[in-house]
Amino acid sequence: MLDRKTYEQIKWIVARSEFVDPRKRGGFSYQRPRSSSVIDMHQRVSGVHLGIRAVQTKEILDWMDTLDIDLLNINQLDHRFDKSKLPDIGLPYEEFSLIPLSTTIHTALEFINKHKDKHPLIFKNDFWYYKEIIETEITQLEQIHKDSLLIISVPFFEKFTVKEDMDAILKRCTDLGVPVMLDLIWLPLIQDNVQLENTDCVEVITHSMSKVLPISGIKGGLCLWRSPASDRHYMYPLGNNLGFYITQKYFQDFEYFHVRDSLIPHRNKWCATLGLEKNKFVYTGVIPDGHFLHDQSCHALRIPNSNLFNLIPFYENDDAITKFINDN
């Protein structure tokens, strides 16, 4: 197992790699150094473990380089999609109309606007960006009432696993007539066998691909509204044809869980090297009690006492980090 000193040295390797190679940077300015100064480099290194973005492996980046982007054709894109390519998790996809996803947040706002008479809720420790638009956080399903509106991620952001009482939550929503929006953004990256029940309450499903593919700046993916969907959803100006086109191509060339499956050997390798426990969400390992990485959780800024460690920098720089370890 690596020690803390070697780990700190590896963080500098990762930061330099991202600074000199644009293909290893995230889609946001805070994910790379602002300049080559020691201060800015150190600031970047100090935050290398925080946050989860799409992994940028050579295979996926090379595949994206092959995409033939014809903007005129994309502007006239046919929004057909083979729903059989989506995993069977208990959702009756045939009862939903599928359209391009603009952004998850825009869809959430549209969902909330459609139900102005309802009180929007999220569970505590769900995906942080819902907190920017929803004030009320709950901790128990009994806090869901008839006038509620629920948005929830599956798997749940806190531990990247399905909430233990998910079926009970959906049953309560179904019994009370509470509309639900499911966010499936993490689903392609977990090994859990997800089977939802009591899904009659689900009105809209968002499935951004920006955690599987490095298209966070473009956005895009799939959005499913329970039929009959309003024409307004089909004509929404922010409908992201480019992101939808990339999503279509991904499902033509790869299986749904391709990225997850391709990372399992790397997950096993780096969990063993770092002394972490394996996690079913392949972007992370689990930090054991007393481990020197206890303060390096990828949720450190948002969820107290989280024990999840971000493995993405080790996947993206596998060769360089492995060589450094072997040389030392």
Residue 73 in any domain: the answer is no
Q: pTM, whole model, 2 decimals?
A: 0.91
Instruction: Tell me which residue of 65, 61, 7 sits closest to 313, measured CA to CA.
Output: 7
Residue 235 in any domain: the answer is yes
C-alpha dist (Å) from residue 259 to 54, 56, 113, 281, 325: 10, 10, 35, 12, 26
Considering the domain architecture, whether residues 229 and 108 belong to the same structural domain is answered as yes
Number of domains the chain is built from:
2
The answer to whether the beta carbons of residues 301 and 40 sit under 8 Å apart is no
Considering the domain architecture, whether residues 13 and 105 belong to the same structural domain is answered as no
Task: Choose one of 203, 232, 253: the last residue of a domain.
Answer: 253
Considering the domain architecture, whether residues 118 and 235 belong to the same structural domain is answered as yes
Considering the domain architecture, whether residues 183 and 310 belong to the same structural domain is answered as no
> For each of the chain's 328 residues, which pLDDT tens digit applies?
889 999 989 988 888 887 788 787 766 555 566 677 777 766 666 666 667 889 999 999 999 999 988 888 888 888 889 999 999 999 999 999 999 998 999 999 999 999 999 999 999 999 988 988 999 999 999 999 999 999 999 999 999 999 999 999 999 999 999 999 999 999 999 999 999 999 999 999 999 999 999 988 888 899 999 998 887 776 666 668 899 999 999 999 999 999 999 999 999 999 999 999 999 999 999 999 999 999 889 888 788 889 999 999 999 999 999 999 999 8
Residue 71 in any domain: the answer is no
Considering the domain architecture, whether residues 51 and 162 belong to the same structural domain is answered as no
Assigned token pair, 50: 């925080």
Full residue range of the structural domain in which residue 58 is found: 4-62+257-327
